[in-house]
Structure 1
């Protein structure tokens, strides 16, 4: 019998040991309940938010951070234990003289705009036991408050007109269509936008309408109704890439170079990199390198072909000569100076001919001079032949007279 009592006493002692720490653990916890008398308020109303702390143990110090949407609610900073604003209120209640199992904090807010906001305490919130100062485990809820509009407040957030300059909307404007696109030139960095709301009390705002980059740019036209309802119209602005412009051709100085009226049917053709002189031939124009020697008797000048100036070399003694030199490369890849006959519209490789004393053949001024020289040479040849015949006849006559006189003397 005594053994049975001993066993019962031991079991009771073990059970007491098991339940003791559980009871202590349960005592070191607190619950936080965030409430408000009215969760649906109107713009301009005062909102009282209550924070209730409850615990099985005596509550000592308390520190917490309450967050909210500052665009909808405004904190009335009149509390002795709370301070803050701009979306965050810090509650500090320390050094309490007496612990309690229930505590309440009342915070005053003002509804300043339409919409919904959630109020909650951050994870840094701490509740301490009064006796030992231990940090309790905390459970809490969240509070949602909605600021609604009066029945007389308009919800109209539509546009009645949307116009842009420059450019044209991709589709005809409709208040129910919120996405549009427009293409603009490479030099456009901003649009002139006319956006009118249907409701005169609604407000219109525009963002993204500046410093356009090449490609797609997003411009948003926002409409905010009196009730706080918003609507966004989106404009995709497609800016074209800038076109590479060819450098301006160098214009010849007045009275300098050679007039294009004298070049017949010469034409210039261009591709991405090179320029070609064409006619009854095909010559790629090049710039002579430093190692290329300009032929003697020629100087650099310019020739205008189809309104474009090219470099040529003319006879120093006659810049109006029909013959010019051009440095280039033919279809066979031969580089060098080529002789251009502007009158006949022909071109051929330039080959200076060495004369006595190392002099080089100078090209005549023009084709008419060549024919004139040829005629003069022909006349001189005829005259020389006639004179030669006369001289020969005179010589024969003189010889015959000398022989005749000698024969007479011998007789």
Structure 2
């Protein structure tokens, strides 16, 4: 039955009931109360039938966060799409997208999306015309290995274009994992671990993770030389400062290019004042006196974006330009000072050498390579002609060229002297012949 006919039939029945005589056993007052109740219900029914159904339903919207690639490689670009859909017209939209800033880096900067450091604000307000579907694309950079979840916070609001009311919102969460490139190395081993002062309790082996060392009461930190086997791996050190009397833990972490990590643990036993350390000079030549306070001479000082190596000297550390030639026989590596990795150059023929090269500028403004003695913690200008390392003498290529030219000059000098002698002998012979012929003519 159509809705109008049903309502007419209902009214006819209601009228017929209200027009019946009050002879059904009810009093006149009870009949009047029943009529009032019936009239109230009738009015509510009319309002329910004729008012729009939408008034009884709150407007809602759905937000879907998605990406074509949920597993990406480090360095890749990640496009995250945010879809808004609703059966009603969508007006203004404001939302905050959270993510792990250690894994992803936000790259966009525009009128709608802005932010970073783990939170992106999306502001799309003042829209001239509502729509039932909307899309936002955000661009990220895969910064580091790991997993992250991207989701909108509770402060997210979607407004109806028609009424301006806040819609109820249902949304999801997007998970992205950054993995390593198949070609990336997973070598997280160290090839060298040296300390100053002190000596490791056992010979260093790349697969052995735990070591110990005993130091004097005046040592508050160590100079640690931790060189990775893979040049693309990174080294970080924690706990290497403000040693207290007793046991202290220093951790040396190596992160491979693939993201794989290995941690070497160093137990540093700082002795009480007045005690003599037992084995920190093991391996030194007999009679050698190692200055245990030398550690205080080598420090890393940071000013603005510059690093300075300080102590009995003051050297600003620089990166060699393209016009600077690294001395032959040296390769680039790193040295950790005060928990910060700095660039140094080691002798390829003697990786265990106590001498390293630094490139920097001294207080006088003189730029060039400087030689660091990591045993004595001293720095001096690097002599490009020859560098004495123990009993070895390393002669760079340019020095060999100089020696070659010097030898050539000596040879030319000798040849010139010989030619001069020959010419002199010939001249004397000619003079004698002329004199002899003249005497013969006079006779």
2:180 to 149, 171, 194: 149
Q: Which has the larger radius of gyration?
A: 1
Is 1:220–1:234's contact at 8 Å kept on the other side of the alignment? yes
The Cα of 1:4 is off from its aligned counterpart by 10
1:72 match: 103
How far is 1:155 from its partner?
1.3
Specify every segment of 5 or more residues in structure 2 that has no aligned partner in the other structure, as ranges: 1-8, 18-37, 276-443
Aligned pair 1:128/2:136, yes or no?
A: no
Residue in structure 1 matching 2:209, options 150, 162, 178: 178
Equivalent residue, structure 1, for 2:62: 31
Matched with 1:209 is 240
Aligned position for 1:222:
253
| 1:43 match | 74
Q: Partners of 1:228 and 1:87 in 2: how far apart?
A: 21
Match of 2:265 in 1: 234
Which of 171, 190, 212 is the aligned partner of 1:159? 190
- Residue of structure 1 in register with 2:132 after alignment: 101
The number of equivalent residue pairs is 243
Give how far 1:173 is off.
4.1
Distance 1:231 1:24, change over 3 A: farther
Alignment partners' CA distance in 2, 1:15 and 1:217: 83
Counterparts of 1:261-276 in structure 2, within 5 Å, are none
Change (3 A) 1:26 1:34: farther
- Per-residue CA deviation, residues 187-246 of structure 1 (Å, 9 max, x unaligned), is 1112232322222321222233223222333322121111233332232323223249xx
- Do the aligned residues in 1 keep the contact of 2:200 with 2:212 (CA within 8 Å)? yes
What is the distance in 2 between the residues matched to 1:182 and 1:26? 73
Unpaired stretches in structure 1, ≥5 consecutive residues: 245-411
- Most deviating of 32-41 and 164-173: 164-173
1:366-405 mapped onto 2 (5 Å cutoff): none
What TM-score, normalized to structure 1?
Answer: 0.51
| Maintained 8 Å contact 1:79/1:107 | no
User: Residues of 2 paired with 1:93 and 1:159: CA distance?
Assistant: 51
Query: Structure 1: how far apart are the matches of 2:250 and 2:45?
Result: 75
Q: Deviations over 1:54-86 (max 9, x none)?
A: 223322111111122333323222433111223
- Let me know the Cα RMSD of the aligned residues: 3.5
Equivalent residue number for residue 52 of structure 1: 83
Whether 2:145 is the aligned partner of 1:117: answer no
Alignment of 1:82 onto 2:113? yes
Structure 2 length normalisation: TM-score? 0.48
How far off its partner does 1:50 sit?
A: 0.4
Mapped partners of 1:187, 1:162: distance in 2: 22
Q: Distance in 1 between matches of 2:59 and 2:81?
A: 23
SS at match of 1:221: strand
